[in-house]
Chain A
Amino acid sequence: MELVLTEDQELLAKTAADFVRQHSPVSRVRALRDANDPIGFSRDLWKQMAELGWTGILIPDTYGGAGMGLADLAVVLEALGRMLAPEPFLSTVLLAGELLSRAGSDAQKKTWLPGIASGEKVLTIAYQEARSRYDLRRVTTKAERQGQNYLLSGEKIQVLDGHSADAFVVSARTAGGQNDARGITLFLVAKDTPGLKLTPQHRVDNRAAALLTLDGVKIGQDSIVGSLDGGYEILSQVVDRATIGLCAEMLGGMSQIFDDTIAYLKTRQQFGVLIGTFQGLQHRAARLFMEIELARSSVMAAARAADANDPEWQSLVSLAKARCSDAYILAANEGVQMHGGIGMTDEHDAGFYLKRARATEMTFGDAAWHRERWARLHRY
């Protein structure tokens, strides 16, 4: 495992950085927030990103994608993360797209994957419920067999990009008790299916999210993704892989707020000198630099291990997510603190990073949760 970008990845990183700089400054995120639009991203930009090949990086070439790996997608996500771009990579590419790529029927793949690669479709998954926290097994949404069909009932929370999604992958219980791994089935539900109801949720990071209520939603057996009762295994694998993508985004975010903070230390004057001359700030900045470097190594290792199917890959996911959660929060907290009063204002970007840091921390398990998982995997 070489922890270095290939020449192709270097090139991709540069293209992504240029594109993001030109088309997606943080001011765009601010404008989207102020518009209070439930879609929350730009379909036009999403289409352009698809044309650059980004939305199809993970999709097999038979379905219109490039069949590349997480290490490749990571460099794009890092660039997007720098400017907090809200386009639906997590929901559509890393979660729903990956579920279909890995477990979908041929018909399901043919229907949806080319549309993801071309930027025409948005998909998402509905897996979280009230109090389910980070446990993918805690599913109370029910799927009851009725002849050749299933009836879905329950409520899913914080469904990312729910209002723009053309279809949802919904986890539901077909057997077993509330916390059992066995007995969870994944269903693919198109957006206009009767009985689905979406209510916008307003999150601190302004990412589009919705409450999804399922009231006797009737769907056929061909809607099952993967196997009956066996949804947990594939869901947890895909969430682990998506976590690597999320970590890449976090790496971009923490790097940007760090760069912004260092730049501020070099321009802000107090007591007649630049505040960057103060050792109290210099040492904290140096420590933060180290934390970000260690986070970067962990993310690179996790992505490469997952691509190579290394037996250690899931333990490296926990390493990366624990490190990124801690480092992003530290970078954002220090960013606000070192900017002083201006960092507390809505007018300044620092707050956007502070909010996104927490939102990403609480997606797919926070640092404590991943350290506990790591400890279990290593028999501590």
Chain B
Amino acid sequence: MADLEQFRTDTRKWLSDNSPQSVRGLILALGEGNWGGRKATYPNPDMKRWLEVMAERGWTAPEWPKQYGGGGLSKAEAKILREEMAALKLPEPLSGFGLTMIGPTLLQFGTEEQKQEHLPKIVRGEIRWCQGYSEPGSGSDLASLQTKAVQHGDYFIINGQKVWTSYANLSDWMFMLVRTDPSAKKQEGITFILVDMATPGVETRPIKLISGSSPFCETFLTDVRVPVKNVIFKVNQGWTVAKALLNHERSMIASAFGGGGKKRSMRDWAEEYVGLEDGRVADSALRHRIAQYEMDNLAFKLTADRSRDAAKAGRPPGPESSMFKIYGTELNQRRQELLLSIAGPHALGWEGPGFTEREITLTHDWLRSRGNTIEGGTSEIQLNIIAKRVLGLPD
């Protein structure tokens, strides 16, 4: 414990000495932080410097082993780092699928060579990754995917189409699922492979969403040559890797929603748009919806705490990541809808005069939130997982 206290003291001092003053307390909209990659843009020069000093120390990936560029911290140390960063209101130095999805997957399934090649570049923010899973005909039924990879010597030739590839147009590499054995049972003919987006035959086209933003692309693959050594785990056993990665994805989505304390409080919104009566939200029906939402949000946060505490104490994990995915995303949708109700006609702004920036953001965030229960496995798929894997209900 004394060691941890020393670590806290040292960390506090180092962060205070090395983090640029201007990034402290910087408010970043969803998706506005550092995502890294060859095409990286930064909200400001200090955010770039912030990434560099943190990456240098391996603290963009605090718990990854040092030999791959990570921080080599224990869970307890990483928690202290997060707490000390929060105390200085420091933003994440780096975000992205490299850190949250393919990195952990490589640590679990990658060969030594694959880890050496990819992990340090993720830590330093040099390479941005995207996910090639869904296809036009394969949404919830992901295992039915048709993108074909045929082996010729040391290469696979890949043909097909991916969809909902997050920021494919800004990414450098893609981890993807391809069909390598069309005659096998659908889960058994799939391979997990890494593709450099600069390879000839890879084309991307952004998809415009109802919210007006384009966080996803269609990705077309025509005779794309990919080295066999880019296969993760084994040929035709990609489904095992895919499922493990989906777990990381669900945890990431769940942690992005619900329980968050940084957002503007619902009471502030209500005070501004609904008004107060005797110090209380003037509309009693809305007041009850707000209380219900806030209480559910707190119960969700407590459940996440409980799951973490149980893991720390070495107890078997309680509720599964599927539950956090469902509840976290639904809470976010409820929050957005409640804010719409609170803002009333002010929530109808798309752009232009007469609406504040915050109001316009609210409108767009609400529309975007409808996708939360679809992406990363729909709520219905998560309910199937709970029913079968947690409750043991029959197929």
Partners in one complex: yes
A interface, CB within 8 angstroms of B: 2-4, 262, 265-266, 274, 276-277, 279, 281-283, 285-287, 289-290, 293-298, 300-301, 318-319, 322-323, 371-372, 374-376, 378-380
The verdict on A290 contacting B295 (CB below 8 Å), with A276-B394, A282-B393, A297-B305 known, is no
Chain B residues touching A, range: 35 or more
Q: Report B14-53 CB contacts with A as 1/0, cut-off 8 Å.
A: 0000000000000000000000000000000000000000
Q: A277-B395, A283-B383, A379-B279 are in contact. Are A289 and B303 (CB under 8 A)?
A: no
Of A289, A295, A323, A380, most B-chain CB atoms within 10 Å: A380
The 14 listed contacts between A and B (C-beta, < 8 Å) are A2-B309, A4-B306, A4-B315, A276-B394, A283-B380, A289-B391, A293-B303, A293-B323, A300-B302, A300-B306, A371-B291, A375-B287, A375-B290, A379-B267
A274 to B392, CA, bound (A): 13
A319 lies within 8 A of B387 (CB): no
Are A372 and B306 touching (Cβ within 8 A)? Answer: no
Q: Are A371 and B383 in contact (CB under 8 A)?
A: no
- Flag whether B223 is at the interface (Cβ < 8 A): no
Shortest Cβ distance from B55 into chain A, in angstroms?
A: 33
List of B residues within 8 angstroms of A296 by Cβ: 303, 306
Q: Which residue of the partner chain, among B270, B287, B313, B323, contacts A289 with CB atoms under 8 Å? A: B323
Asked if A298 and B291 make an inter-chain contact with CB atoms under 8 angstroms apart, the answer reads no
Which residues of chain B are near A286, meaning CB under 8 Å? Answer: 383-384, 386-387, 390-391
Residues of B near A376 (CB, < 8 A) are: 280
A297 to B298, CA, bound (A): 10
Q: Quick one: given A266-B394, A285-B393, A379-B280, are A294 and B296 in contact (CB under 8 Å)? A: yes
Bound form: Cα–Cα A283–B381 in Å: 10
> Which residues of B lie under 8 Å from residue A283 when comparing CB positions?
380, 383-384, 387
Tell whether, in the assembled complex, residue A371 and residue B380 are in contact, meaning their CB atoms are under 8 Å apart.
Answer: no
Q: Are B291 and A375 in contact (CB under 8 A)?
A: yes
Which residue of A277, A322, A379 is within 8 Å of B295 (Cβ)?
A: A322
Docked Cα-Cα span, A289 to B391, in Å, equals 8
Q: CB-CB < 8 A to A287: which residues of B?
A: 383
A375 CA to B388 CA, complexed, in Å: 37
Q: Are A274 and B302 in contact (CB under 8 A)?
A: no
| Identity of the chain A residue whose Cβ is nearest the Cβ of B292 in the assembled complex | A371
Is B393 in contact with A277, judged by CB distance below 8 angstroms?
A: yes
- A378 contact set on B, CB distance < 8 A: 267, 291, 294
- Judging by beta carbons under 8 Å apart, are B394 and A277 in contact? yes
Q: Mark B281-302, 1 if CB is under 8 A from A, else 0.
A: 1000001101110111011101
A380 to B303, Cβ gap below 8 A? no
Q: How near does chain B come to A5, taking the closest CB pair, in angstroms?
A: 8
Known pairs A4-B315, A289-B319, A322-B295 / 6 extra A-B pairs, C-beta < 8 Å: A262-B393, A282-B384, A282-B391, A282-B393, A286-B386, A380-B290
Q: Is there an interface contact between A380 and B306, defined as CB atoms closer than 8 Å? A: no
**Is residue B355 contacting chain A, with contact meaning CB distance below 8 A?**
no
Which residues of chain A are within 8 angstroms of B299 by Cβ–Cβ distance? 294-295, 297-298, 319, 323
Compute how far the CA of A287 lies from the CA of B300 in the bound complex, rounded to whole angstroms. 14
Residue from B290, B302, B323, B383 whose CB has the most chain A CB atoms within 10 Å: B302
A379 contact set on B, CB distance < 8 A: 267, 279-280
CA distance in complex: A237, B370 (Å): 43
Within 8 A of A (CB), among B344-395: 380, 383-384, 386-388, 390-395
Is the CB–CB distance between A289 and B390 below 8 Å? Answer: yes
| Distance in angstroms between the alpha carbons of A295 and B298 in the assembled complex | 11
**Contact across chains for B302 and A301 when beta carbons are under 8 A apart:** yes
Chain B interface (Cβ < 8 Å from any Cβ of A): 267, 270, 279-281, 287-288, 290-292, 294-296, 298-300, 302-303, 305-306, 309-310, 312-313, 315, 318-319, 323, 326-327, 380, 383-384, 386-388, 390-395
Question: Contact between A4 and B310 (Cβ–Cβ < 8 Å)?
Answer: yes
Q: Let me know if B318 and A293 touch, CB within 8 A.
A: yes
Query: How far is B319's CA from A287's CA once the two chains are assembled, in angstroms?
Result: 12
A318 to B390 Cα, complex, angstroms: 29
Q: How far does the alpha carbon of A244 sit from the alpha carbon of B323 in the complex, in Å? A: 25
How far, in angstroms, from A180 to B148 measured CA to CA in the complex? 77
Q: B326's contact among A262, A266, A290, by CB below 8 Å, is which?
A: A290
Whether A319 pairs with B295 at a CB distance below 8 angstroms is: yes
Residues in A whose Cβ lies below 8 Å from that of B310: 3-4
B288, B294, B309: the one contacting A372 at CB < 8 Å is B288
Closest Cβ–Cβ distance, residue B382 to chain A (whole Å) = 8
- In the A-B complex, list the 7 residue pairs whose CB atoms are closest, starting with the nearest: A282-B387, A3-B306, A286-B386, A375-B291, A297-B302, A297-B303, A294-B299
Question: B309: which A residues are within 8 A, CB to CB?
Answer: 2-4
* Chain A hits for B306, CB < 8 A: 3-4, 296-297, 300
A residues in contact with B391, CB < 8 Å: 262, 282, 285-286, 289
Residue of B at shortest CB range from A294? B299
Q: How far is the CB of B82 from chain A (nearest CB, A)?
A: 18
Contact between A298 and B327, CB atoms less than 8 A apart: no
Whole-angstrom distance between the Cβ of A230 and the nearest chain B Cβ? 27
Task: Report the nearest B residue to A373, measured CB to CB.
Answer: B291
Chain B nearest CB: distance from A285 CB in Å?
6
Q: For A292, give the chain B residue with the smallest CB separation.
A: B319
| CB pair A380 B281 closer than 8 Å | yes
Cβ of B292: which chain A residues have Cβ within 8 Å of it?
A: 371
Q: Are A371 and B387 in contact (CB under 8 A)?
A: no
CA distance A319 to B296 in the complex (A): 8
A322 to B305: give the CA distance in the assembly, Å.
Answer: 20
- Chain A's closest residue to B312 (CB) is A4
Given contacts A4-B310, A293-B323, contact A265 B393 (CB under 8 A): yes
Listed residue (B299, B310, B394) with the most chain A CB atoms within 10 angstroms of its CB: B299
A371 to B292, CA, bound (A): 7
Q: Are A380 and B291 in contact (CB under 8 A)?
A: yes
Distance, CA A274 to CA B309, complexed state (A) = 37
Contact residues in A for B305 (Cβ distance below 8 Å): 3, 297
For residue A2, which residues in chain B have a CB less than 8 angstroms away from its CB? 309, 313
Closest to B388 in A: A282
Residues B319 and A380 in contact, CB atoms below 8 Å apart: no
What residues of A have a CB within 8 angstroms of the CB of B394 in the complex? Answer: 266, 274, 276-277
Return the contact of B298 from the options A276, A285, A319 (Cβ within 8 A): A319
Docked CA distance A237–B291 (Å): 23
Give A6's nearest chain B residue, CB to CB.
B313
For residue B315, which residues in chain A have a CB less than 8 angstroms away from its CB? Answer: 4
